[in-house]
Structure 1
């Protein structure tokens, strides 16, 4: 099976984004099962490692506006192909300056990406059986495949991957023809959104199936009243929407390279982290709280019970960036009570994944409130490090976890509540974890082993489910 993949972010980046990492892991996993994937993304020279090691292997013109493009590849990066045009991709940022207005021509830039990718695939006679577009930057593939490139791709199913539905780009309806959309579908059931064009809706509109990064996220999008009226559009297209859990790369997240007993490995990781932080964890239960842009109400829930938690034999580690609205609050708390709380600074992108792995390897539990993270992969990463989630049954991946009770101790790997947004439910579960850790070490050791060794959700499992979906369409 051959698959064409177009993403606004992918490949050998210096500091991979979460989208880049996900697309790369998919490419790796497809390759392992013998699927030939042509993964195409822009050639951002400021983002790619060693750009001078790449060479131009093709020059052509896309068919939407006749813009010239170059195709770059490297033997060091065989799974990825890159499109370059200096006008569109010779800029310092992917979408626009951080914390500023996005580039006003982003719709033209990524319409060009879609068109150039299809033109290249046509030129090299890449006879794919499926096309995948990622996020709004890859959304226009479906429409272009059915119109300008219909001779080559009209019969090829388009799968639109929505990693985070809060990301979209809206443009004036005067730009419809400029980005290759059929004007007949400019309506509320198509890609119209409050008098403008929504690239996200366009991707969904022309997709055969829309893939979300977890079943829980798919259900949340369908059954939550999303702002702006998008809920009705998703409900109208409910038969297209599929949630498939993203995996994690255990080759990276398994910190225990020496294959020591997990109890020993975590004790070593705890000691190293304490030295790195200059903090004294003592013999306390080490609880990590991850506060990034997708942490939902975790911070609010923690703040409500923080005084109660720090009265217990618990040391709280907060991972955050200075841009988080509660950064100063937790820093002040840490100054007042350094024996119970420490703040670890991440950059806004949380791109230092090795630092995150070291924290999860050292921590006993991760406090995850009402996460908005589409795939809740932070919990899978925690499990891979033998770190037990304290979270809600309504969180994306929780349906695959086993709650700790006296009866389920042999299989348990988490501490779950009905509503992770409820402080009065989360606090008792933290205390339960502390109690088991202190009074029933045999049960605690078993739960950690269950998390670290008994629960593996690799990307290969994710890919196998994608292939089943493709198979149902006769591919």
Structure 2
């Protein structure tokens, strides 16, 4: 099977973005499954660790805008193909300056990416079985396959991967022909959005199937009143939408991978090591980790509401957050006032945070994840890979695949779930339930930890196996 992948972000960046990381992991897993995958993304030279190993392997002219393009590759990075045009991708930022307006010609830039990718695939003789586009920046490849490149890919199934529904790019209707969209589909059931063109809707419109990063996120999108009436469009296309859980790399997140100790022993060892590092004695308390990054949603608000009640429990709270976060001073002041109850764990950006996050998850007993926004909820998967039980909502991302603890489900449980993770009283009550099991039902707790650590085990290869099953159901 041959799959052509188009993404606005991917490859060997110095500090990979969440989207680039996900696309990279998917690409690796495709290759491990024996798929001949060509993943094409822009060559952002400023973002790479070292470009000396990369060289131009092809030059051509794409058909949509008639612009020249270069194809760059590296022997050390064989699964990724990079499209370069200095006018479009020689800029300092991917989409535009941070905290400023995006580049006004982003639609032209990423239409060029899609066109150049299809041009190169055709001219290099790549006979793709399917095309996969990521996010709005990879959405236009589906339309261009049916218009500008119909002789090459007009009958090739297009799959669109929506990592986060909140990201989109809108342009005036006058720009339709410039990006290769069929004018007849400029309507509410097509890619029209309040009189403008939605690139996200364009991707969904021309997709055979639309893939979301978790079953829970797919269901939430269909049952949430999204702004602008987008929920109506999604429900109109509900048969296309599939939630496929993104995985995590256990090679990265399994802290016990090398020693391979019994998980109870490994976690006890990790907890002692963290106490020594912090010079804090948890005093046999349940260790509760709260991850407050940009995807934490209302977790901080929920925690703050019940923090005073948590201090009355036999719990030690570790709050992971960026030093520049608005709530930093609040939690630091609390930690200084109650050092035997709470500690603030500084988060770093990008790959620099991997080791510290793995360390604190390994030493924790519970992950407190209230109404988080991350569609794939990878923080929950990372916690499970560390044998740490998530306390979260039953409708959040991967939670639909978890088994809630109850005395009658103790043998298979791997989480503590609430109906509404945005309700502080529900989270507090369930935390008390978890504490009771931790203290009084030790065998049940130990079994739940084993279930989380070795029973769930959701690698990226499982994600790709489901992708390939979807392709197989279409006869590919």
TM-score with structure 1 length normalisation? 0.96
Aligned partners of 1:278, 1:65: CA distance in 2, in Å?
Answer: 62
Segments ≥4 residues shifted beyond 6 Å: none
Q: What are the equivalent positions in structure 2 for 1:236-385 lying under 5 Å apart?
A: 236-256=236-256, 257-277=258-278, 279-347=280-348, 352-385=353-386
Pair 1:205-2:205 in alignment: yes
Per-residue CA distance 1:402-428 (angstroms, 9 max, x = gap): 111222222211111122111111112
Aligned partners of 2:356, 2:419: CA distance in 1, in Å?
Answer: 31
CA contact under 8 A between 1:16 and 1:351: conserved in structure 2? no
Report the CA distance shift for 1:231/1:60 in structure 2 as closer, same or farther (over 3 A): same
Aligned partners of 1:278, 1:17: CA distance in 2, in Å?
Answer: 33
Q: Is there any run of 5+ residues in structure 2 with no aligned partner, and where?
A: none
Q: Secondary structure at the match of 1:366?
A: strand
CA contact under 8 A between 1:14 and 1:48: conserved in structure 2? yes
Aligned twin of 1:452? 453
Q: How far 1:108 sits from its partner (Å)?
A: 1.3
Aligned twin of 1:149? 149
Q: What are the equivalent positions in structure 2 for 1:9-48 lying under 5 Å apart?
A: 9-48=9-48
Aligned partners of 1:349, 1:103: CA distance in 2, in Å?
Answer: 24
Aligned twin of 2:158? 158
Q: How far 1:199 sits from its partner (Å)?
A: 0.8
Choose 168-177 or 108-117, whichever is displaced more: 168-177
Q: How far 1:275 sits from its partner (Å)?
A: 4.3
Q: How far 1:153 sits from its partner (Å)?
A: 0.5
Aligned twin of 2:234? 234
Pair 1:470-2:441 in alignment: no
Q: Secondary structure at the match of 1:167?
A: coil
Q: How far 1:346 sits from its partner (Å)?
A: 2.2
Q: How far 1:92 sits from its partner (Å)?
A: 1.9
Aligned twin of 1:443? 444
Q: How far 1:71 sits from its partner (Å)?
A: 0.8
Aligned twin of 1:387? 388
Q: How far 1:327 sits from its partner (Å)?
A: 3.1
CA contact under 8 A between 1:322 and 1:348: conserved in structure 2? no
CA contact under 8 A between 1:383 and 1:389: conserved in structure 2? yes
CA contact under 8 A between 1:17 and 1:351: conserved in structure 2? no
Pair 1:86-2:86 in alignment: yes
Q: How far 1:458 sits from its partner (Å)?
A: 1.5
Aligned partners of 2:183, 2:48: CA distance in 1, in Å?
Answer: 37
Aligned partners of 1:139, 1:247: CA distance in 2, in Å?
Answer: 23
Aligned partners of 2:300, 2:127: CA distance in 1, in Å?
Answer: 49
Aligned twin of 1:167? 167
Aligned partners of 2:193, 2:333: CA distance in 1, in Å?
Answer: 43
TM-score with structure 2 length normalisation? 0.96
Q: Secondary structure at the match of 2:311?
A: helix
Q: How far 1:282 sits from its partner (Å)?
A: 3.5
Q: Secondary structure at the match of 1:12?
A: coil
Choose 157-166 or 403-412, whichever is displaced more: 403-412
Choose 199-208 or 181-190, whichever is displaced more: 181-190
Q: How far 1:450 sits from its partner (Å)?
A: 1.4
Choose 263-272 or 24-33, whichever is displaced more: 263-272
Aligned twin of 1:185? 185
Aligned partners of 1:329, 1:238: CA distance in 2, in Å?
Answer: 43
CA contact under 8 A between 1:160 and 1:203: conserved in structure 2? yes
Q: Is there any run of 5+ residues in structure 1 with no aligned partner, and where?
A: none
Q: How far 1:57 sits from its partner (Å)?
A: 0.7
CA contact under 8 A between 2:58 and 2:72: conserved in structure 1? yes
Choose 373-382 or 429-438, whichever is displaced more: 429-438
Q: What are the equivalent positions in structure 2 for 1:59-70 lying under 5 Å apart?
A: 59-70=59-70
Per-residue CA distance 1:134-162 (angstroms, 9 max, x = gap): 00000100111111111100000100000
Choose 328-337 or 282-291, whichever is displaced more: 328-337
Q: Secondary structure at the match of 1:46?
A: helix
Choose 22-31 or 351-360, whichever is displaced more: 351-360
Q: Secondary structure at the match of 1:317?
A: strand
Aligned twin of 1:117? 117
CA contact under 8 A between 2:383 and 2:389: conserved in structure 1? yes
Aligned twin of 2:400? 399
Q: Secondary structure at the match of 2:24?
A: helix
CA contact under 8 A between 2:15 and 2:351: conserved in structure 1? no
Report the CA distance shift for 1:429/1:100 in structure 2 as closer, same or farther (over 3 A): same
Per-residue CA distance 1:43-82 (angstroms, 9 max, x = gap): 1112223211111111111111111111111111111111
Aligned length: 475
CA-atom RMSD, angstroms? Answer: 1.6
Aligned partners of 1:389, 1:332: CA distance in 2, in Å?
Answer: 26
Q: How far 1:448 sits from its partner (Å)?
A: 1.0
Aligned partners of 2:42, 2:26: CA distance in 1, in Å?
Answer: 17
Q: Secondary structure at the match of 2:46?
A: coil
Aligned partners of 2:424, 2:339: CA distance in 1, in Å?
Answer: 23
